[in-house]
Amino acid sequence: MNYKLKKREGIYLMINLLCAKLFLLTPYLFKRAAVTNVALIVAAVFLPHLIVFLLKGREAERKKPGKIILFVIWAFLTLYLSFTVYEYAGVIKEMFFNRTPIWFTVLLLAAGMIYTSSRGLKAIGRLCGFFVPLVYFVCALLVTLAFKNFNPRLLLPFFGSTKALLKHGAVLFAVPGECIIYYLLPPVLENKKDFKSIFYTSFSISFVLFLIVCLSFVMAGFDSSRIMPMFMLIRLIKIKSFFQRIDLVFLLLFSISVFLYLSAILYFACKCFCDSTGAGNEKFLTLPVGTIAAFPLLDRLFSNFVPFILILMIIFPLFIRRHKT
């Protein structure tokens, strides 16, 4: 019997899908485009998804997306998976595993996500229900502890840099691209009526978390794309001489969050493929789709097209059409 997500699990799953990027280089990308007041850009990036949901949310509760749309979503999610695997593997390699070849780190990440997603929605939902509140509570706590090193004046001038925004801003609209998964969520929910409250709760919490971490990164005055921004923030924490160098402990938590993100994306990618082509059980697809995602050429081939594909993901929910189940 297919497992259905409880409301709580759905909320945590979506929070993790939207916020796991905080443990990649995303806060740096926001800072690069905003220079100062990153809050405006975070709001501008999240707002289209909210508007699309207000337009199509009620419909998505009753109908499933069409087969072509599902196929395109599959392609997008697989591509997205590939990028995230490589980004995280690259960051980890740069920071800790200098001598480890990147294929090895990618292999480890891919093996983990393939295994977890092959266990199905039950495993992902329950792991999210357990780890996500812990990870993001710790994340908020750590940012609070690093607060004394922040300079709030760095958030001004209010409108940031127009030049930087024009140069680096467009790609940011795709950052909450995982919002597309909201429209795949109703069929896997225990109670479809929870859909709206799952959206509003997880979307607002994710927005606030995004805002806190990105603002902190700007206020800390960092300007490096080499180290994970969240890791840089934690390195600032110093409580007297006895409580410092605690960063590595929390790296494990962040890795769990990224693992869960990858597993969930892989699961939904496989589900989209099954629904669009009518191919049996999504669990059997995790290995081939996961392997495609970890395939290195994908990253090299499509790097220039990704921003455009990602922006399209805001538009896809508008094409949700009636589908007899």
Partner 1 sequence: MKKLITLLIVISPLFLCSCFDSREVDDMTYVMAVGAEKGAYTFQLALPLNISGDKEADAEQEDEAFSLYSVKIFEDNFFLAADKLNSKISKTADLSHVCLFVFSKELAEDGLKGFEEILSGIEIRPSAYLTVAENPEDYLKSLSSPFELNPAKYFEMLYSNENQSFYESLTAHDFLSRETVLIPVSSTTGGSSGGGIVLKDKKPVMELSPHEVFFCRILKGNLPLSHFEASGKTFEIESSAPSKISFDGKKAHIILHLSGNEKTKYRVTYGCKKLLEKTAEENVDLLDLKSRMRKGFLTVEAFNSFDFDLRRVSFSLEAKYD
Q: Which residues bind partner 1 (CB under 8 A)?
A: 35-36, 94-101, 104-105, 108, 111-112, 115, 149, 151, 153-154, 156-164, 220-224, 226-227, 232, 235-236, 238, 241, 244-245
Least separation in angstroms between CB 29 and partner 1: 17
Q: Which is nearer to partner 1, 109 or 185 (CB)?
A: 109
Least separation in angstroms between CB 248 and partner 1: 10
Q: Which is nearer to partner 1, 161 or 191 (CB)?
A: 161
Determine how many CB atoms are found less than 10 A away from the CB of residue 91.
21
Q: Is 189 helix (H, G, I), strand (E, B) or coil?
A: strand
**Element containing residue 260 per DSSP (H, E):** helix 247-277
Task: List helix spans (H) across 20-101.
Answer: 26-34, 38-62, 67-95
Least separation in angstroms between CB 160 and partner 1: 6
Q: Which is nearer to partner 1, 204 or 225 (CB)?
A: 225
d(CA 154, CA 158): 10
| Tokens found for residue 64 | 């499933």
Cα distances from 163 to residues 159, 160, 168, in angstroms, run: 11, 9, 9
Least separation in angstroms between CB 162 and partner 1: 6
Least separation in angstroms between CB 244 and partner 1: 7
Q: Where do we find the tokens 């220079």?
A: 35
User: Which residues, 6 or more positions from 12, have their beta carbon under 8 angstroms from its beta carbon?
Assistant: 128, 129, 132, 133, 202
Q: Which is nearer to partner 1, 83 or 97 (CB)?
A: 97
Q: Which is nearer to partner 1, 277 or 291 (CB)?
A: 291
Task: List helix spans (H) across 159-246.
Answer: 162-168, 194-219, 229-235
Does the N-terminal peptide bond of residue 296 adopt cis geometry, omega within 30 degrees of 0?
no
List beta partners, residue 239: 243
Q: Which is nearer to partner 1, 79 or 92 (CB)?
A: 92
Least separation in angstroms between CB 286 and partner 1: 14
Q: Which is nearer to partner 1, 11 or 110 (CB)?
A: 110
Least separation in angstroms between CB 41 and partner 1: 13
**b or e along 93-112 (b: 16 or more beta carbons within 10 Å of the residue's beta carbon)?**
beeeeeeeeeeebbeebbeb
Query: Are the C-beta atoms of residues 139 and 230 closer than 8 Å to each other?
Result: yes
Q: Which is nearer to partner 1, 6 or 126 (CB)?
A: 126
Helix axes 121-145, 7-19, angle to 10 degrees: 60
Least separation in angstroms between CB 317 and partner 1: 34
Q: Which is nearer to partner 1, 164 or 287 (CB)?
A: 164
d(CA 163, CA 228): 25
d(CA 117, CA 119): 5
Query: Are the C-beta atoms of residues 313 and 319 closer than 8 Å to each other?
Result: no
Least separation in angstroms between CB 268 and partner 1: 22
